[in-house]
A and B are shown apart, each in its own frame.
Chain A
Amino acid sequence: MELRMDTPVAKPGLRRKTRWYFWGLLFLVPEIVIFFIFLWVPIAKGISYSFYNVDFVDGNAFVGWQNYADVLGNPDFYTAIRNTLVYMGLALLIGFWVPIAMAIAVSELKWFKGFARIVGYLPSIIPAIVLYGMWQWFYDPVGPINSFLNFVGLPEFDFYSKEHAMFSLIILETWQNFGSATLIYVAGLAAVPRELYEASELDGAGVWARIRYVTLPSLKGLILLLLVLQLIATSQAFQSQLLMFGGGPDNATLTYLLLTTREAFTFFNFGKASAMGVLMFIVLVVFSVATLKLRKGGDEA
């Protein structure tokens, strides 16, 4: 109310502006400060590290673009980029639709609905040591999956081969992570007005048609958002790659972030690791801006 009444009144520029923006800024200030102190300061320092040979005893020495040259001259760098892109693509293909399907399926359940909504989220509380031990056993040549294949007369599947390693990781990651996305979709589904289903059913739309023309369009914004978030998350993946396969066999699962992590924590080349982080940042920013521009262009046309 106050806002509405104050704004039209002509007042000296600055003061009027402050009033006009008062609440908006007030709500933002704490976060602007928190992001600055706890993210931007370390990030800026990280960026500056990329131009230095980092040394905690003798002090850092400026090396210009040397770290960048080293990174770009490393053949593994390109392998890692390729692997990361493959991983992102596979994850999209195999994993992205799972939480959507699960959220829709679960919302149709008549019994244990609550339990089923939560169940996908359980793996996220399992300690890594149990989790990876379990998958090693699942993927074992004499483990449950291959025993089953054997039982139904199918050939053994080598989860550890160079060709299949990335695929094996996607299955594991999807299993482990789809629960959180499912929860977000369930939250989104809860907001779809029931009357829409009622109406479309009366119009003679079948179940598929209802999902296709009512449910999915209502989730569109959320799907896009989670798509972006998944792309960002998978572009930075390295945990299962490291713990299951150590980046192997023969670098087949060496992702960009695994290489970064290795530079920093196996070889203590913090400058190089920072340079890799900066390169990734630049690429992702360009990519995001391009996507935004494209989408805007599309909307106008």
Chain B
Amino acid sequence: MKKSFLLSALALIIVLAGCGGGNNGTSSPSKETDSGAKPTSSAEATSPESPSASPANADPVSIVAYAYPADKTEENATLNAKIKRFVDKHPNVTITPKYWKYENTEIAIKMASNSAQTEFTTWATEAKLLSDKKWIIDLTDKLANWQYAKDLNEFALAPFVIEGKTYGIPIDAYGMTITINKKLFEKKGVPLPPLDWTWDDLIEAAKAVNDPAKGIAGFIPMGKGTEAGWNWTNFLYAAGGEVQSVADGKVTATFNSEAGLKALQFYKDLKDANVIPKNWALGYGDALTLFNQGRGAMVMCGSGNALDGAINQGKINKDDVLLYPIPSMTKGGKHTGVAGGNYKVINGLATPDQQQAAFDFVVDEYFTDAYLDSIDAQITSQKAKNQVYVPQLINYWNDSSEYGKKYEEILAKHDNVYNYSPELSKLMESKPEATYETQAYYGEMANAIQKVFTSKGDLDLQKLLDDTAAKVQKGSFDKVNIE
């Protein structure tokens, strides 16, 4: 009994990284087939490939598809329709939708008992971990035979390309932004900072809207769990820093560079200016809740995710929230933030036949009109619920492609779609997360950040960074094997 009680905590382990939890429909329906999606030639593949119809004599294969929780009725209906269309074309394949949402705290047990779906959705941060454990398969060969592979947004694909091999197919991607609660600025009569802002602008703005006596903070950095390190890395990137360097098969920590020092000094400045919540122990959800409550004027998150929550769950008017890029360190500098997203991967424990069928199923309706139709339907249904559709800033397709234009047209049709300012997209730059032992780095960095947030008086920041780097180096980076 004790056991289950202790265990019950695990499920709550804060989900980092999942910032790109989209409300975008994942893969979707289409009546058309990707004609020409040539099957893989690898020895394993005996499965249905030709898009038109599979050979009647193909061996029966059954796979499990990644279903959605019950509240996502649209998405589940779309998935069922997609399954039906796929099975009609490939009668030897049986597809059962099953609901289990990817959680980094549960995947181990799912794999240990081989009960994860044949294809499932995961996050950008998980690529190295999952591929190292061989829990997901290398898709390079399969992609080579898929006609649309070249049309995938290279930027979105990047996190799942490891040492030249591709392990996942992007669904959507995000770049980090800062979401601002405009109402708090107006209440205090403070002018909004310029979109092309700097670190100093951020601190000044935060000081101006700050009101600790009422429990209102100028800026809410996440400080608990790995998301603390994830948030901070934006400033590391904006200062031109890197998390690690890879050379001669060795990974070396580089975040204790001059850029790192500047970024940490910025956090110290935030703390000294008293513009962050005294309660530093804010995970992803905690920070967004404070923002929704109007207890903080600015929060950092993937593209429109904080904004989506604030509008649709927090019921803040969509004109009262604004998106800013990560500020540049100095005027005219780059607004570089962390990138991430959601990916489709194939279960490493499935048989080759199942893996092939799952891959065919996943890519079956990429780049088809049906996917666009489902987005259209989703926006309409959100309108009925008085909600606003917040698109992802980055998608699996290239925005300039034909397909991207069609998508834009659909968004333009509706009035309950959030429009990103074109200037924002111009200013924003996004850079993928580190590849090796990222979680360990985030976790260690969280300690350093907490030290900055809770220490009184002066701190030797360089020493703090060096110590942190040394610990991550010894504990994690040194153990990485690069083939």
A residues in contact (CB < 8 Å) with B: 55-58, 74-75, 128-129, 136, 139-142, 158, 160-162, 233, 236, 238-239, 242-246, 248-251, 257, 261-262, 264-268, 270
- Assess whether A141 is in contact with B212, with CB atoms less than 8 Å apart: yes
Query: Closest 8 A-B residue pairs measured CB to CB?
Result: A142-B215, A249-B450, A239-B9, A246-B224, A57-B134, A141-B278, A246-B225, A248-B450
Which residues on the A side are within 8 Å of B425 (C-beta)? Answer: none
Which of A55, A244, A245, A257 is packed against the most chain B CB atoms within 10 Å? Answer: A245
Contact with A along B429-464 (1 / 0, CB 8 A): 000000000011001001110110111000000000
Report Cα–Cα, A264/B134, bound state, in Å: 17
Contact B112 A248 (CB under 8 A): no
A249 to B454, CA, bound (A): 7
Query: Is there contact, CB below 8 Å, between A268 and B108?
Result: yes
Taking the nearest CB of chain A, how far is it from the CB of B140, in angstroms? 18
Residue of B nearest to A168 (CB): B281
How far is B7's CA from A128's CA once the two chains are assembled, in angstroms? 12
| Stretch from B10-18, B173-181, B313-321, B386-394 that touches the partner | B10-18
User: How far is it, in angstroms, between the C-alpha of A243 and the C-alpha of B285 when the chains are bound?
Assistant: 12
**Complex: A161 Cα to B451 Cα, angstroms:** 10
Contact mask for chain B residues 2-42; partner A; CB cutoff 8 A; 1 contact, 0 none: 10001011101110000000000000000000000000000
Q: B226 — which chain A residues lie within 8 A by C-beta?
A: 266
With A57-B133, A246-B446, A248-B447 as contacts: A238 and B9 at CB distance below 8 Å: yes
Known A-B contacts A136-B279, A245-B224, A245-B281; A266 and B475 likewise in contact (beta carbons under 8 Å): no
How far apart are B470's CB and chain A's nearest CB, in angstroms? 10
Q: What are 18 A-B pairs with beta-carbon distances under 8 A?
A: A56-B133, A141-B277, A160-B279, A160-B280, A238-B9, A239-B6, A239-B8, A245-B281, A246-B281, A249-B223, A249-B453, A262-B443, A265-B10, A266-B13, A266-B439, A267-B439, A268-B133, A270-B108
Within 8 A of A (CB), among B95-139: 104-105, 108, 111-112, 114, 129, 133-135
Q: Is B337 in contact with chain A by the CB < 8 A criterion?
A: no
**B13: contacting residue among A242, A251, A270, CB under 8 A:** A242
Q: Is the CB of A246 within 8 A of B279?
A: no
In Å, the complex CA distance between A234 and B460 comes to 35
CB-CB under 8 A from B455, the residues of chain A are 162
Chain A at the B interface: mostly helix, strand, loop or mixed? loop
Q: Contact residues of B with A, CB < 8 Å?
A: 2, 6, 8-10, 12-14, 104-105, 108, 111-112, 114, 129, 133-135, 212-215, 223-226, 277-281, 283, 286, 348-349, 439-440, 443, 446-448, 450-451, 453-455, 471, 475
Q: Which residues of A contact B349 (CB under 8 A)?
A: 56-57
Q: In the bound complex, how far is the Cα of B211 from the Cα of A142, in angstroms? A: 11
The one of A140, A249, A265, A270 that contacts B280, using a Cβ cutoff of 8 Å: A249
**Which of A141, A243, A246, A265 gathers the greatest number of chain B CB atoms within 10 Å?**
A246
Known: A141-B278, A246-B14, A267-B439. A57 touches B135 (CB 8 A): yes
B439 touching A250, Cβ below 8 Å: no
Q: Contacts A57-B134, A57-B348, A248-B281; is A142 near B13 (CB within 8 Å)?
A: no
- Smallest Cβ-Cβ distance to A128: which chain B residue: B12
Contact with A75, one of B13, B108, B225, B471 (Cβ below 8 angstroms): B471
User: Which of chain A's residues have a CB closer than 8 A to the CB of B111?
Assistant: 56-57
Question: Please, which residue of chain A has its CB at the minimum distance from the CB of B217?
Answer: A141
CB-based contact A238/B6 at 8 Å: yes
User: Do the beta carbons of A264 and B108 come within 8 Å of each other?
Assistant: yes
Q: Which residue of chain A is the closest to B224 with respect to CB atoms?
A: A246
Interface centre among A136, A140, A160, A236 (most CB of B within 10 A): A160
Bound Cα distance A262, B442 (Å): 13
Cα–Cα distance between A249 and B135 once the two chains are bound (Å): 33
Nearest CB in chain B to that of A164: its residue: B454
Interchain CB contact under 8 A, B9 and A128 = yes
B17 CB, nearest partner CB in chain A, Å: 11
Q: Which residues of B contact A265 (CB under 8 A)?
A: 10, 13, 104-105, 108
Closest to A132 in B: B12
Asked if B279 and A140 make an inter-chain contact with CB atoms under 8 angstroms apart, the answer reads yes
Task: Tell me how far the C-beta of A17 lies from the nearest C-beta in chain B, rounded to whole angstroms.
Answer: 35
CB distance from A267 to the nearest CB of B (A): 7
CB distance from A49 to the nearest CB of B (A): 11
A-B contact sample (9 more), CB < 8 A, given A57-B133, A57-B134: A56-B349, A57-B111, A136-B281, A238-B6, A239-B9, A246-B225, A249-B280, A249-B281, A265-B104
Which residues of the partner chain B approach A129 to less than 8 Å between Cβ atoms?
12
Of all chain B residues, the one with the shortest Cβ separation from A240 is: B9
The interface residues of chain A lying within 8 Å CB-to-CB of B12 are: 128-129, 242-243
Q: Which residues of B contact A238 (CB under 8 A)?
A: 6, 9
Residues of B within 8 A of A128 (CB): 8-9, 12
Chain A residues near B446 (CB-CB < 8 A): 246, 248
Which residue on chain B has the smallest CB distance to residue A38? Answer: B3
Task: For B280, list chain A residues within 8 Å (CB).
Answer: 160, 248-249
Residues of B with C-beta under 8 A to A58: 134
Q: Is the CB of A139 within 8 A of B6?
A: no
Tell me the nearest residue of chain B to A133, going by C-beta: B289
How far is B283's CA from A236's CA once the two chains are assembled, in angstroms? 23
Residue of B nearest to A262 (CB): B443
Residues of chain A lying within 8 A (CB to CB) of residue B281: 136, 160, 244-246, 248-249
